[in-house]
Amino acid sequence: MSDDALIAIKPSIASTAKVTAETRAAMVARAKSDPDGFWRDEAKRIAWMKAPTKIKNTSFTGDVSIKWFEDGELNASVSCLDRHLEAGRGNQVAIIWEGDDPNSDSKVTYAELHEQVCRIANAMRALGVKKGDRVCIYLPMIVEAAVAMLACARIGAVHSIVFGGFSPDSLSSRIQDSECKILLTADEGRRGGRKVPLKVNADEALKVCPSIEHVLVVRNTGADVAMQAGRDIWWHEAAAAQPATCAPERMNAEDPLFILYTSGSTGKPKGVLHTTGGYMVWASFTHELVFDYRPGEIYWCTADVGWVTGHTYIVYGPLANGATTLMFEGVPNYPDFGRMWQVVDKHQVNIFYTAPTAIRALMREGEGPVKKHSRKSLRVMGSVGEPINPEAWLWYYRVVGEERCPIVDTWWQTETGGILISPLPGAVAQKPGSATLPLPGVQPALVDGEGKFLEGATEGNLVITDSWPGQMRTVYGDHPRFIQTYFSTFPGLYFTGDGARRDEDGYYWITGRVDDVINVAGHRMGTAEVESALVAHPKVAEAAVVGMPHELKGQGIYCYVTLNAGEEPSDALKKELVAWVRKEIGPIATPDAIQWAPGLPKTRSGKIMRRILRKIAANETDQLGDTSTLADPAVVTDLVENRVQ
């Protein structure tokens, strides 16, 4: 099959799907000709305390201002909980929790989830948390993580989740940046049979976080952890002391819902800010359309709530739509490589959403672990986080889904709040490796280096020309950085940082980042962050970090390191530097290769030529291009000769 081969829409899905090719075309047309009318109608999918009369008020120029539904009032937790109770669905399972240990699982109904959320919301209020205050969440994949998010939403507090795999340093810098008032964490987390020392990490981080007044601690593994008198409180005790109902705060549509830190090409991670009304509409709209979600279905997104995928497609989207959402504490290869499919069968999962890096890792183990399980319940399967190579796509489609399940390759970003480009199962034919077409209301375009629009089948920088409700509103505390990062490269356009190709059918093929951001196993990493971790080591003079192709992770982290005069390179020092970066940032930033560099290729003005470093890391040393503008071209010869295999 050629790359561009079409995989037709399944008649069985199209005949019952909410969105077909015809209705999709009508939606696309209306969203373009009458955006206010279109989004006023779509906004009805969530519960408003006061329905909005103003719909879209956005500008990508000047000070950049993005407002949707600006006079509407709502509470996100009401859309996710109360209205399902009012509709008589309180006894439906909201969350299926599947533990790291295959023998541990539990189910939480909408009524039970509502009660847990109200108790923790009351507990936070009792600790003095008010509307607009920031709350940091550093929890493993347990039900309490969803409870924590919704409890913040309930009282109008802004949550900022930090992935449990981040180091104390990464945690403290995020807490400091948004001046969080309380921290919600656990004694320990579990992953792949190992324990993650969350409370120990948190205690380390909090040594430099004066804004934190209290810590609520979930007793999860039962490990013996230090509790600081006056500051630390057990979650279960706080919950038990509170009433089971809690009046939801009345929020304006443009009041913040959450902050989520993400890496950029420069400087420290940015606090991406999402607000309430537009984000909720986008989460619900995209979850229903892209997964062709139908009432009663079991839906499983394998992400962690520490990433945006977990926010939108484990918690807010599915719960707004009244789905049963599965939360998985574990990893794909524990206790064996059949775990995903064992869980699919155990809970009769209908919709499954995972990342290419997981698919590639499972593919390497062959069909055996897949075929041991039935997978008959699966109906739609998704992919997210990085480009999926056609080979992995076809394996997913043929072996896992037995050519029965459409694959939705969903392109989006932390900044976009939810999916922007993806097939719809009943409406868009797929091509292995292509994210296909934009959702109704999304207007992508390709531009050249000067910002000139490129037409037809072509390749260029991916921009979005107009706003959609789920778009981020600002960088927390730094609006100029928001404008600078996303709207200055191509003035008047939202720049994604991605490159893409568009084929003759108008399908988009994302080619990857065109900036200094790399994508390691679906996790976004700023090369600048790894560089600053490296140069913080006392023996390191200078460092340059680039992505390199990696069979499983998509990209690996390749570091060029120049040592201080007098320091001797050694394998022991390499190991030390790897451990150092893991400690500074977290295990997701583990360098894959370190090359000793007596010098780095710099222009005469001192700018590092990363293009050359990327080519060397990728072993494409025959394509180094023009090196004559370098201050010292001999540097390149040395780097090529000593490239890490």
Q: Which residues are annotated as a binding site for Mg(2+)?
A: 535, 537, 540
Residue 497 touches ligand WT7, criterion: CB under 6 A? yes
Restricting to residues 272-311, name those near ligand WT7 by CB under 6 A: 307-309
Q: Indicate which single residue of 125, 513, 537, 574 sits in contact with ligand WT7 (rule: CB under 6 A).
A: 513
Measuring CA to CA, which residue among 464, 454, 370, 349 is closest to residue 412?
464
**112 vs 99: CA distance, rounded Å:** 19
Q: Which stretch binds ligand WT7 (CB under 6 A): 19-27, 486-494, 509-517, 593-601?
A: 509-517
Judged by beta carbon, residue 361 or residue 600, the one nearer ligand WT7 is 361
Q: Which stretch binds ligand WT7 (CB under 6 A): 125-133, 140-148, 378-386, 479-487?
A: 378-386
Residue 519 touches ligand WT7, criterion: CB under 6 A? yes
Q: H helices of 348-427, where?
A: 356-363, 368-371, 390-395
The pattern of x and - marking residues 390 through 409 that bind ligand WT7 according to CB under 6 A reads -------------------x
The angle subtended at Cα 335 by Cα 195 and Cα 522, nearest 5°, is 70
Please name the residue that has the structure tokens 């807490």.
175
Determine whether 450 is exposed, middle or buried from the number of CB atoms within 10 Å of its CB (0-12, 13-18, 19+).
exposed
Q: Indicate which single residue of 150, 435, 463, 546 sits in contact with ligand WT7 (rule: CB under 6 A).
A: 435
Residue 389 touches ligand WT7, criterion: CB under 6 A? no
Residue 161 touches ligand WT7, criterion: CB under 6 A? no
Residue 526 touches ligand WT7, criterion: CB under 6 A? no
Judged by beta carbon, residue 167 or residue 434, the one nearer ligand WT7 is 434
Contact indicator for 430, 451 with CB cutoff of 8 Å:
no
Judged by beta carbon, residue 297 or residue 415, the one nearer ligand WT7 is 415
Residue 275 in 3-state DSSP?
Answer: strand
Contact indicator for 120, 238 with CB cutoff of 8 Å:
yes
Judged by beta carbon, residue 436 or residue 562, the one nearer ligand WT7 is 436
Task: Mark the binding-site residues for CoA, compressed into ranges.
Answer: 191-194, 309, 333, 582
The minimum distance between CB 554 and ligand WT7, in angstroms, equals 9
Judged by beta carbon, residue 275 or residue 562, the one nearer ligand WT7 is 275
Residue 498 touches ligand WT7, criterion: CB under 6 A? yes
Contact indicator for 518, 557 with CB cutoff of 8 Å:
yes
The minimum distance between CB 335 and ligand WT7, in angstroms, equals 27
Judged by beta carbon, residue 134 or residue 524, the one nearer ligand WT7 is 524
Task: Mark the binding-site residues, compressed into ranges.
Answer: 191-194, 309, 333, 385-387, 409-414, 498, 513, 524, 535, 537, 540, 582
DSSP output for 217-245: EE-SS-------TTTEEEHHHHHHTS-S-
Tokens found for residue 534: 């490296």
User: What angle, 0 to 180 degrees and rounded to 10, lies between the N-to-C axes of helices 21-33 and 35-42?
Assistant: 120
Tokens found for residue 136: 């940091």
Q: Which stretch binds ligand WT7 (CB under 6 A): 130-138, 475-483, 496-504, 593-601?
A: 496-504
Q: Which stretch binds ligand WT7 (CB under 6 A): 22-30, 390-398, 410-418, 582-590?
A: 410-418
Determine whether 8 is exposed, middle or buried from the number of CB atoms within 10 Å of its CB (0-12, 13-18, 19+).
exposed
The count of residues interacting with ligand WT7 (CB under 6 A) is 23
What strands lie across the sheet with 298-301, from one edge to the other? 105-109, 93-98, 324-328, 298-301, 351-354, 380-384, 407-410
DSSP output for 21-47: HHHHHHHHHHHHH-HHHHHHHHGGGS-
Helix (H) or strand (E) holding 271: strand 270-275
Which letter, b or e, does each residue of 36-51 get, where b requires 16 or more Cβ atoms within 10 Å of its Cβ? eebbbebbeebbbeee
Residue 324 touches ligand WT7, criterion: CB under 6 A? no
Measuring CA to CA, which residue among 465, 428, 475 is closest to residue 445?
465
Measuring CA to CA, which residue among 145, 109, 117, 110 is closest to residue 315?
145
Residue 156 touches ligand WT7, criterion: CB under 6 A? no
The pattern of x and - marking residues 334 through 373 that bind ligand WT7 according to CB under 6 A reads ----------------------------------------
Residue 413 touches ligand WT7, criterion: CB under 6 A? yes
Q: Indicate which single residue of 19, 31, 93, 384 sits in contact with ligand WT7 (rule: CB under 6 A).
A: 384
Q: Indicate which single residue of 258, 328, 337, 411 sits in contact with ligand WT7 (rule: CB under 6 A).
A: 411
Would strands 214-218 and 232-234 be described as parallel, antiparallel, or unpaired? parallel
Residue 621 in 3-state DSSP?
Answer: helix
Residue 385 touches ligand WT7, criterion: CB under 6 A? yes
Residue 434 touches ligand WT7, criterion: CB under 6 A? no
The pattern of x and - marking residues 224 through 263 that bind ligand WT7 according to CB under 6 A reads --------------------------------------x-
The minimum distance between CB 507 and ligand WT7, in angstroms, equals 12
Q: Which stretch binds ligand WT7 (CB under 6 A): 95-103, 118-126, 490-498, 618-626?
A: 490-498
Judged by beta carbon, residue 302 or residue 309, the one nearer ligand WT7 is 309
**578 vs 584: CA distance, rounded Å:** 10
- Phi/psi of residue 603, each to 5°? -75, 170
Contact indicator for 334, 282 with CB cutoff of 8 Å:
no
**557 vs 592: CA distance, rounded Å:** 5
Q: Indicate which single residue of 357, 410, 489, 527 sits in contact with ligand WT7 (rule: CB under 6 A).
A: 410
Total count of residues recorded for the chain: 645
The amino acid at 454: L
Q: Indicate which single residue of 124, 510, 548, 581 sits in contact with ligand WT7 (rule: CB under 6 A).
A: 510
Judged by beta carbon, residue 338 or residue 438, the one nearer ligand WT7 is 438
Farthest CA pair distance, the chain = 74
The minimum distance between CB 280 and ligand WT7, in angstroms, equals 18
The alpha carbon of residue 73 and the mean position of all alpha carbons in its chain are separated, in whole angstroms, by 27
The minimum distance between CB 485 and ligand WT7, in angstroms, equals 12
Judged by beta carbon, residue 74 or residue 408, the one nearer ligand WT7 is 408
Judged by beta carbon, residue 172 or residue 309, the one nearer ligand WT7 is 309
Residue 515 touches ligand WT7, criterion: CB under 6 A? no
The minimum distance between CB 354 and ligand WT7, in angstroms, equals 11
**112 vs 108: CA distance, rounded Å:** 6
The minimum distance between CB 340 and ligand WT7, in angstroms, equals 18
* Site for ligand WT7, rule CB under 6 A: 262, 307-309, 384-387, 409-414, 435, 496-498, 510, 512-513, 519, 524
